[in-house]
Chain A
Amino acid sequence: MYKITRHLKEAFYGLIRHGGMTFSSVLAVTITLTLMSFFLMISMNVRNISETVQGEIQIHVSISNLLDQQSITGLGDQIKIQEGVASISFSDKNNELDKFINSYGPEGSIFEMYRGVKNPLKNAFIVEIKEGADIKSITEQIRTFVGVDKADYGGENTVKLIKFMNGIRDVGLILVLILSSLAIFLIANTIKITIQARIDEISILRTLGATNSFIRAPMVLEGLAIGFIGSWVPILLTVSGYTWMYKSLDGFLVSELFVLRPVYPFVLQISYLLSILGVVVGLIGSFISVTRYLHVKR
């Protein structure tokens, strides 16, 4: 137990003793994590918006009037097993007319005269898909099925929008990964410099029979502390910045279709993520540095 206390104490003294180094590494982590937080917020909001938009788009499949009930069920099964189809629901011609009338608001009542046998609309399947980007190919596939009169979706622009947003989301996540590697590199380099300052200490510990883990432990703890402390300012900026932006924009970006993630628990999730990222990059960075040095000496 007192060995752990010793490592903690040594790590603390190490941070104080190499104050300048500690400060510059904390600053490096702070900058990197702030950028990471920025990209994470964009990425996660774009994902949110993308999911909302995706939820709105469906394929409307009109069923030929010539199909009997059994064939309609068969067609439904055929659509359901298509790759990329999330769910389908059946909407009979009366339901279709209701939706049509409702879409016109109060003026829709003029179409009431088409109720019953005069209803010109057809039974339909409403198909929801898993990935917005696949909507075009799935629609084209459905069109080839026997008994399908028409299959339509929101349009080309919707697909383009989804593809664009997925692109932003992916680029954001790639940037987060690149920045994580950068933070690891920065911490590894700083710890490397502090190792240079401790070569004598390490050689003394070696002659006394210290294992690599005994030598490594305080330095890895230092890296961990640097990463964790480095996450404080980014967390503060995330919480205050996102709250301010959310309030200023009333929770929407441009239109009501683009709903931003609510402040809570979103900022808390990002904050946890940032502190975990800080700790992990600190651990990995210092571990790499110390291990690389310890491996070359007997």
Chain B
Amino acid sequence: MLKLKEVYKTYKNGVNALYNVNLFIEQGEFVYIIGPTGSGKSTLIKLLDAEERPTKGLVEVAGIDIGKLRQGRIPYYRRHIGVVYQDYKLLPKKTVFENVMLALQIENMPLLPARTRVREVLELVGLSDKANSYPNQLSGGQQQRCVIARAIASKPKLLIADEPTGNLDFAKAKEIVKLLEKINLEEKTTLVIVTHDVDIVNTMRKRTIALEDGHIVADLKEGGYHSNV
């Protein structure tokens, strides 16, 4: 599903963000990527959602070589992956229903099946009763649920969550990770959660990959992480 082979990333300003990263994630896996600020987590996400190209090496998602992806194909590639951000990135002038619907409009899904799918994912994330609310009428946890609903609406093969619990207290963060776990099981979506929240990683144990200074320093299949991150 996700393959990184000898990946290096150096930015134009000379910053080396990733060194010789090798990683393989199977279809349907649930993986945490953990590391402190500046460890290369954000760069990894940028490579996965094709915002950046690797300087060297292979980044392959669902058989697509990101480095060779033509500019015009990037939007179509992005429809195969869902991204959940810490700062939500919801459109404030649109309701929850419209925000989720947007992903399907972009895909050009016919109106009726699109509406059905929106209701389905809102049900899944527990926001059916908030369909007509605007983002500013929702709590942080609810906004994150809405973003998750939007990210999975088009049934992506890969769901990347960038610090999805960053703005939430532990109880709410746990709820969100549980929801992501449910999506992983019910929708068979491969999940990559990028976080620096050690508590969550240690409470809800899954395969954990640790990044430090652009290197993978640990890949713990049994989960949990005890370093000073």
The residues in A between 190 and 220 inclusive whose CB is less than 8 angstroms from any CB of B are 200-201, 203-212, 214
Kindly identify which residue among A13, A205, A208, A214 contacts B93, using a CB–CB cutoff of 8 Å: A13
Task: Please report the C-alpha to C-alpha distance between residue A205 and residue B76 in the assembled complex, in whole angstroms.
Answer: 12
Q: Which residues of B contact A200 (CB under 8 A)?
A: 89
Residue contact A208 to B102, C-beta cutoff 8 Å? yes
**For residue A1, which residue of chain B has the nearest CB?**
B111
B196 at the interface (CB under 8 A from A): no
A118 at the interface (CB under 8 A from B): no
Task: Please report the C-alpha to C-alpha distance between residue A77 and residue B47 in the assembled complex, in whole angstroms.
Answer: 79
Q: Which residues of B contact A17 (CB under 8 A)?
A: 93
B83 at the interface (CB under 8 A from A): yes
Task: Please report the C-alpha to C-alpha distance between residue A203 and residue B110 in the assembled complex, in whole angstroms.
Answer: 24
Residue contact B107 to A209, C-beta cutoff 8 Å? yes
**CB of B49 to closest CB in A, whole Å:** 7
Q: Which residues of A contact B76 (CB under 8 A)?
A: 209, 211
**For residue B112, which residue of chain A has the nearest CB?**
A2
Task: Please report the C-alpha to C-alpha distance between residue A201 and residue B83 in the assembled complex, in whole angstroms.
Answer: 15
Residue contact B105 to A6, C-beta cutoff 8 Å? yes
Q: Interface 1/0s, chain B 82-121, versus A by CB < 8 A?
A: 0101000111010000000011011110110000000000
Task: Please report the C-alpha to C-alpha distance between residue A2 and residue B113 in the assembled complex, in whole angstroms.
Answer: 13
Q: Which residues of B contact A205 (CB under 8 A)?
A: 102, 106
B51 at the interface (CB under 8 A from A): yes
Task: Please report the C-alpha to C-alpha distance between residue A201 and residue B78 in the assembled complex, in whole angstroms.
Answer: 16
Q: Name A's interface SS.
A: helix
**For residue A207, which residue of chain B has the nearest CB?**
B83
Q: Which residues of A contact B79 (CB under 8 A)?
A: 208-209
Task: Please report the C-alpha to C-alpha distance between residue A132 and residue B183 in the assembled complex, in whole angstroms.
Answer: 82
Kindly identify which residue among A2, A6, A209, A212 contacts B78, using a CB–CB cutoff of 8 Å: A209
Given A6-B105, A209-B76, is A298 in contact with B71 using a C-beta cutoff of 8 Å? yes
Task: Please report the C-alpha to C-alpha distance between residue A214 and residue B110 in the assembled complex, in whole angstroms.
Answer: 16
Kindly identify which residue among B75, B85, B91, B105 contacts A206, using a CB–CB cutoff of 8 Å: B75
Q: Which residues of B contact A214 (CB under 8 A)?
A: 75, 106
Task: Please report the C-alpha to C-alpha distance between residue A200 and residue B99 in the assembled complex, in whole angstroms.
Answer: 14
Query: Which residue, of A208, A212, A298, has the highest number of chain B Cβ atoms within 10 A?
Result: A208
Q: How large is the interface on B (under 10, 10 to 19, 20 to 34, 35 or more residues)?
A: 20 to 34
B74 at the interface (CB under 8 A from A): yes
Residue contact B89 to A204, C-beta cutoff 8 Å? yes
Residue contact B50 to A208, C-beta cutoff 8 Å? no
B77 at the interface (CB under 8 A from A): yes
**For residue B71, which residue of chain A has the nearest CB?**
A298
Q: Which residues of A contact B50 (CB under 8 A)?
A: 298
Residue contact A298 to B89, C-beta cutoff 8 Å? no
B41 at the interface (CB under 8 A from A): no
Task: Please report the C-alpha to C-alpha distance between residue A207 and residue B75 in the assembled complex, in whole angstroms.
Answer: 8
B145 at the interface (CB under 8 A from A): no
Residue contact B103 to A208, C-beta cutoff 8 Å? yes
Kindly identify which residue among A3, A204, A298 contacts B105, using a CB–CB cutoff of 8 Å: A3
Q: Interface 1/0s, chain B 44-73, versus A by CB < 8 A?
A: 000001111000000000000000000100
Residue contact A210 to B106, C-beta cutoff 8 Å? yes
Given A2-B111, A3-B108, is A210 in contact with B91 using a C-beta cutoff of 8 Å? no
Query: Which residue, of A17, A203, A209, A211, has the highest number of chain B Cβ atoms within 10 A?
Result: A209
Residue contact B91 to A211, C-beta cutoff 8 Å? no
Q: Which residues of A contact B111 (CB under 8 A)?
A: 2
Contact sample, A vs B, 16 pairs, CB 8 Å cutoff? A2-B105, A3-B105, A6-B105, A13-B93, A200-B89, A203-B89, A207-B89, A208-B102, A208-B150, A209-B76, A209-B78, A209-B103, A209-B154, A210-B106, A214-B75, A298-B52
Where the two chains meet, the residues of B that have a C-beta atom closer than 8 Å to any C-beta of A are: 49-52, 71, 74-79, 83, 85, 89-91, 93, 102-103, 105-108, 110-111, 150, 154
What 12 new A-B contacts, CB under 8 Å, besides A209-B75, A298-B51? A3-B108, A201-B91, A204-B89, A204-B90, A204-B91, A206-B75, A207-B78, A207-B83, A209-B78, A209-B79, A209-B107, A210-B75
In the A-B complex, the 6 residue pairs with the smallest Cβ-Cβ separation, listed nearest first, are A209-B78, A209-B79, A211-B75, A209-B75, A210-B106, A204-B89
